[in-house]
Amino acid sequence: MSRSGLSRGVEAGLVVSVSRVLPDEPSATAAIHAMRTWFSATWVDSTPLSAPLLTNYRQIFEHKDNLKAPAPTEDDVASTDTGRGALSTKDLHRLRVCRYFWIDAGNITKNRGPNLPGNQLMMKRLSRVFFGFGSTAVPENTHIGDVEICFNGGQGAPFSLTYSDNKMDKLVLPIPGAGGPPAYDNEYLLFERTRPGVFKFSIGTKATKAQWFKRSAAIEGAFRMSSGREWGVF
């Protein structure tokens, strides 16, 4: 199964059509019949998805032992970042499977003007993996993609994720006071993945941040940037 099938519950099927000049090749026909027989037997023996089964699966998947050492899949790409403080391949695995991402926002750049609170969050390079994007290196100032974010249960909207020229992943947040909080400076931010590409966004207190850190530390998913800002996944 692919990474999508294992970690997000979405799997793509492939239909192959074989066209040959008569007479048909017996081995090809036999192979197709054998595959059809195998699939039919597997489908009949499968367990239909139910709410209790899904709950049990989620508990197993989100258990700290699994989040600490998630099984790699064929789609995972090993980290090629050898710089100081770079995220390891195992770190990227954790970012891929965890449902929550939190970060100390620190001092936000005044990108909207000197008298207005900013809304561009600078994150550790390759934080993008948590938001559903690959770990392949891209040039500076590359638009990686859009992330749908809803703040405190509000209306969701797409926001840009970019690899900035300061070698950090930059996520645009809802405008302060117009879909977002009054300001983001020195706040503790929490993102919860609700489905692929869609995230709930909220702000926590110092006490809740301590709880997030504890949960992240339990799976070796707590990190600190060179600036001292802490962040993690769980």
Q: What is the pLDDT of residues 44-90, one digit of tens each?
A: 998 888 999 999 999 999 999 999 999 887 777 777 776 777 899 99
Number of folded domains that form the chain: 1
Hey, what are 227's tokens?
């600036």
Asked if residue 208 has pLDDT above 90, the reply is yes
Tell me how far apart the alpha carbons of residues 116 and 114 are, in angstroms, rounded to a whole number.
6
More confident residue, 29 or 228: 228
Report pLDDT digits (tens) over 108-144.
Answer: 999 999 999 999 999 999 999 999 999 988 999 999 9
Cβ-contact 184, 176 below 8 angstroms: yes
192 occurs within a structural domain: yes
**Residue 174: alpha-carbon gap to chain centroid:** 19
Q: What is the pLDDT at residue 138?
A: 92
75 occurs within a structural domain: yes
Tell me how far apart the alpha carbons of residues 51 and 45 are, in angstroms, rounded to a whole number.
19
Q: Is the peptide bond before 114 cis (omega within 30 degrees of 0)?
A: no
Tell me the mean pLDDT in the region 192-204: 94
CATH code of the domain containing 175: 2.40.330
10 occurs within a structural domain: no
209 occurs within a structural domain: yes
53 occurs within a structural domain: no
5 occurs within a structural domain: no
Cβ-contact 159, 149 below 8 angstroms: yes
16 occurs within a structural domain: no
Asked if residue 195 has pLDDT above 70, the reply is yes
Tell me how far apart the alpha carbons of residues 9 and 12 are, in angstroms, rounded to a whole number.
10
Q: What is the pLDDT at residue 85?
A: 78
Asked if residue 30 has pLDDT above 90, the reply is no
Asked if residue 20 has pLDDT above 70, the reply is no
Tell me the mean pLDDT in the region 153-172: 94
- Which residues sit opposite 100 in a β-bridge? 192
Tell me the mean pLDDT in the region 153-174: 94
pTM for the predicted model, two decimal places: 0.81
7 occurs within a structural domain: no
Its domain, for residue 73, covers 64-233
pLDDT level of residue 16 (50, 70, 90 thresholds) = low
Average pLDDT, the chain: 89
Tell me how far apart the alpha carbons of residues 158 and 60 are, in angstroms, rounded to a whole number.
31
Asked if residue 24 has pLDDT above 70, the reply is no
